Amino acid sequence: MKKYRMVALVGVLLSTTILGANTSVIEAATKSKEIRVKNELKRAPVIQATSTSANSTNDSGIVGKQKFSDLKNDQTLKISPIFQEDVDSSREGYAALLQNKLGIVDDKGNSLAMTIEQRDKQTNFATKVSYKDGKQTKTINLEYNYFKPELTSERQDPMNYKGDSLPSDFMDTITSGKNLNNASTNVPKSSHNGTDLNGHKADVETEITYMSSNIDTKGGEIEFTPTDVTYGIKGNSLIRHVKIFQEPDWNQLANRTLQLNDKNGLSKPVTITDSNGNKYSVTMNSNAIDITKPGQYKVTYEATGIDDSGTPVIDEGSHVVDNKIVYTKRNQLITVSGDKTQVNYNFIIKNKKTGNVIDTQSGQAVDGSTVTIDTSKLPSGYALSDTQKTFKVDAKNPTKTIEIAKSVNYDIKYLDKDTNQQIGKDITGAGDEGSSIVLQAPSGYEFADTSDMILTLDSQAPQKTIYLIKKATSSIPVERLNYTIQYKDASTNEVVDKTTSQGNLGDYINVQAPDGYSLADLSSYGFLLNKNNMIFTSYVTKADTSYSISYIDETTNKEVGSQTGKGANGSKINLKVPAGYALVNADDAIYQIDSGNKNIKISVRKATDSDELGLVSTYPDGGTVQVYDVNGKPLNIELGQASNWVTDQLKTINGVEYYRVATDKYIRTDKAYKYVSFSNVVTTLKETPVYDSKGKINTEKVLAKNTPWYTDRIAKINGIKMYRVATNMWVKASEIHLKY
């Protein structure tokens, strides 16, 4: 499976500074705008510490994983081994590395000294250790979980051959020699196990088993099984599939008939099989046929072997790079029929991911009748929905094409990185190939590699092993931690107020501005509590600027409501539009307090149906958007991408839904999304995936846990409430908490 690099984003916050980017194309609505992402952390948080208690990593560098008080005397702990290579690459010796891996601490999180009591004679690994806390001593037995050896394949799977049987050098082909355990094998073996403390290196041997008796002519499966003979550990088998593509059964194309003027059917391939069930995509020299004239024509068929995704397969036996498996049949009859009572239909099914044809079905039926598709002919892993299983025959368009995704049955196994032991049961399920699934680490664990949080389904790699690390037990302090927040005026740098309180280690502390002040920037909104007696500096500005907003009905030019208050100059507030009204200009939704312009007039319009009013934005990655008139006719006008508009009407035109953005000007609803302007700060509750404006997960980005992000709008995307944190980045409401 393709592995994506996931970037943990910290401190990149959305600016609500609206910068003009595109030319307004409809003056009656709103200007087209672009929202840019920038770092608004003007100052790094000032954090001072006067003591160092309750750290998850103590002075010795040992990460606490288990408390001494929770252990039983003579208890057995399972861990992964520490090899000689680990000792050689470290400045510490074997005993220190083992002590760190076990991570036994007292109730205050302080490390306890470890004594090795017994070692294995074969490997010299410790098998028994002891710890002492005060007057009590406990002995711990160690059991090692060695890593399973692994095999990889340097050949494609399945291995495909053209002909009636396998070539004579097949055995050498699959192994690069009869001895699988030499260096030249194309079934490379590897072991994550290293050298033991007595100098014995990991050594993997492989055995081969034929699982099909008639593999020479019918194909089948071959099993390769690895064993690390040094440590006596058997690995998972590697299965190679072998397919023999014999000449296809050309009789499946006998009496083939195309409907008069069916140019689409003429150009599309058809699928047939051979006696082993292998599938071919068949094309012909279509220029030999005049589809506009009934009659019989002679053509040459070319059949290319394909896999389940419709991709042409490569012949392993030819020893020619990228040589496809192709058979040709000349002088074959095909009929063009002018019969309008019996329509010659074609049903073409494509793989949604590759765009290749995976199956075709054809026949004759009365115009307007309904045909049921034979789903038993579909390749393994594909299924039609109930609506796709039937096909209405149309003499004018006798060929229909649909796309379906292959279903992937995935299996996720979680392993503890320190013990190599499985955590919980396998996570299984099914989904469309190419779709992404957000995984959750089991309770008490977190991902060793954050990129493993998102699984992209791949039919070639439905199984995956993910390593986890145990959360440190010493991160839970015995007592609450003290902290002080000092508020400094951003202009004078003078301390204007102080507050003190307590919290738990790892808490995100939200900061509230003192009376008469506003927080100056996002770095002042909060902090992570990670030390006792922490001092955090929050910068503030005086909330001494008054504002007065009048809402003016654009039709009557009369005031229909007002909004007044005080705030810091330059800060932003959400407008509270009078009930029954909606904004005329989308960019008026958030007001920035300005000491030089205290009396503001905002245009609003009467709302006839609040459900049909609101703000819409064209997608930031969808390009320009066509504008239509009230009859659905395209106008010579386009909206810029990522532009914001006020809509006052949801209208269906010729079966398609549109938003009205100006008088007699409409855009399709699938080209924009509705949103609500909203000024706030969201804080992530955990490592949080982000989505684009259409709800597609971003496989390369994740927001770090407990980080604040400015949000400027809310939307329901695919029915899920989300907050926007960048131009095309959204987070689920269920995975954040709000500042206000």
Please give the average per-residue pLDDT across 12-34, as a whole number. Answer: 30
Which residues are within 8 A (CB) of 335 and not within 5 positions of it... i.e. 6 or more apart?
Answer: 255, 256, 257, 258, 295, 296, 297
Question: What pLDDT, on the 0 to 100 scale, is given for residue 289?
Answer: 95
**Residue 161 CA from chain centroid, whole number:** 36
What's the CATH code of the domain at 441? 3.10.20.320
Please answer whether residues 738 and 714 qualify as being in contact, where contact means their C-beta atoms are separated by less than 8 angstroms. Answer: no
Reported as a single tens digit per residue, the pLDDT across 408-452 is: 999 999 998 888 889 999 999 988 888 888 888 888 888 888 888
Instruction: Specify whether 655 is located in the same domain as 515.
Output: no
Would you say residue 56 lies in a domain?
A: no
Position 556 pLDDT exceeds 70: yes
Q: Are residues 389 and 465 in the same domain?
A: no
Dihedrals phi, psi of 554, to nearest 5 degrees? -65, -20
Taking the C-alpha atoms of residue 593 and residue 600, their distance in angstroms, rounded to an integer, is: 10
Question: Do 509 and 578 fall within a single domain?
Answer: no
Q: In the 8-state DSSP scheme, what is residue 556?
A: T
Q: Which pLDDT score, from 0 to 100, does residue 479 have? A: 67
> Which of 698, 701, 685, 692 is closest to 736 using CA atoms?
685
How many CA atoms lie less than 13 Å away from 9 in the CB half-sphere? 23
Task: Report the pLDDT value the prediction gives residue 29, as an integer from 0 to 100.
Answer: 32
**pLDDT beyond 60 at 559:** yes
Task: Round to whole Å and give the CA distance between 471 and 424.
Answer: 16
Residue 610 has pLDDT above 70, yes or no: no
Helical spans, DSSP H, in 93-163: 94-102
HEC string of 633-691 equals: CEEEEEECCCCEEEECEEEEECCEEEEEEECCEEEEHHHEEEEEEEEEEEEECCCEEEE
pLDDT bracket for residue 61 (50, 70, 90)? very low
**In terms of domains, do 344 and 394 share one?**
yes
Do 78 and 191 belong to one domain? no
Question: Is residue 697 in some structural domain?
Answer: yes
Q: Are residues 633 and 584 in the same domain?
A: no
Closest CA to 144 of 165, 164, 129: 129
| ω into 158 cis (within 30 of 0) | yes
Residue-averaged pLDDT of the chain: 83
Question: How do residues 81-138 score in pLDDT, each as one tens digit?
Answer: 999 999 999 878 999 999 988 989 988 888 899 999 999 999 999 999 999 999 999 9
The reply to whether 287 and 322 lie within a common domain is yes
Over 50: is that where the pLDDT of 52 sits?
no
In a domain, 61, yes or no: no
Q: How far apart are the first and last CA of the chain?
A: 42
Q: Which of 467, 469, 470 is nearest to 147 (CA)?
A: 467
Residue 1 domain-assigned (yes or no)? no
pLDDT, tens only, 237-276: 999 899 999 999 999 999 899 999 999 999 999 999 999 9
Q: Which residues contact 287 (CB under 8 A, 6 or more apart)?
A: none
Confidence (pLDDT) at 327: 97
Domain check: are 431 and 567 in the same one? no
When divided into structural domains, the chain yields a total of: 7
Give the residue ranges of DSSP H helices in 136-218: 170-175, 215-218
Distances (CA, A) of 579 to 576, 608, 614, 716: 9, 11, 13, 22
**Facing residues of 271 across strands?**
281
Q: Which of 404, 419, 447 represents a domain boundary (last residue)?
A: 404
Residue 2: inside a domain, yes or no? no
Would you say residue 102 lies in a domain? yes
Rg over alpha carbons for the chain, rounded to the nearest Å, is: 34
Q: Do 390 and 262 lie in a common domain?
A: yes
Strands (E) across 338-417 are located at 342-351, 357-366, 370-372, 390-392, 399-404, 407-416
Q: Is residue 217 part of a domain?
A: yes
Residue 640 lies in a domain: yes
Closest CA to 503 of 521, 524, 527, 522: 527
Is beta strand 649-653 parallel, antiparallel or unpaired with respect to 454-456? unpaired
Please tell me the distance from the alpha carbon of residue 603 to that of residue 605, in angstroms, as a whole number.
Answer: 7
| Residue 657 token pair | 């839904």
Q: Is the pLDDT of residue 497 over 90?
A: yes
Residue 131 belongs to domain spanning: 66-144
Spatial strand order in the sheet of 399-404: 357-366, 342-351, 399-404
For 36-44, what is the mean pLDDT?
31
The CATH number given to whatever domain includes residue 518 is 3.10.20
- Segment 647-652 shows an average pLDDT of 82
Looking at 111, 144, 177, the residue that finishes a domain is 144
pLDDT band at residue 703 using 50, 70 and 90 as cut-offs: confident
Predicted local distance difference test score (pLDDT) of residue 4: 37
- Say yes or no to pLDDT of 572 above 80: no
Full-prediction pTM beyond 0.85? no
CA 701 to chain CA mean position, Å: 9
* Same domain membership, residue 286 and residue 400: yes
Are residues 167 and 232 located together in one domain of the fold?
yes
- Say yes or no: 520 and 457 in one domain: no
DSSP 8-state assignment for residue 422: B
Check residue 590 and give its pLDDT. 72
What are the structure tokens assigned to 694, written together? 């259409």
Q: What is the largest CA-CA distance in the chain?
A: 102
What pLDDT is stored for residue 178 in this prediction?
A: 61
HSE of 388, CA atoms in CB hemisphere, 13 A: 15
CB 346 within 8 A of CB 262: yes
Q: Measured between alpha carbons, how far is 460 from 576 in angstroms, rounded to an integer?
A: 53
Phi, psi (5° rounding) for residue 506?
Answer: 95, -5
Evaluate whether 324 touches 317 at the Cβ level (below 8 Å): no
Task: For residue 55, give every residue at least 6 positions away whose Cβ sits within 8 Å of its Cβ, in sequence order, or none.
Answer: 109, 474, 530, 531
Beta bridge partners of 7: 701
Phi, psi of 309 (to 5 degrees): -95, 0
Residue 18 pLDDT > 80: no
Domain end (from 498, 527, 542): 542
CA–CA distance, 305 with 313 (Å, rounded to integer): 6
Q: Average pLDDT for residues 310-316, to the nearest whole number? A: 93
- pLDDT at residue 588, rounded to an integer: 73
Distance, in Å, from the CA atom of 655 to the CA atom of 276, rounded to the nearest integer, reads 48
Q: What is the pLDDT of residue 37?
A: 29
Question: Which residues are CB-neighbours of 549 under 8 A, at least 6 positions away?
Answer: 562, 563, 564, 575, 591, 600, 601, 602
Higher pLDDT, 63 or 584: 584
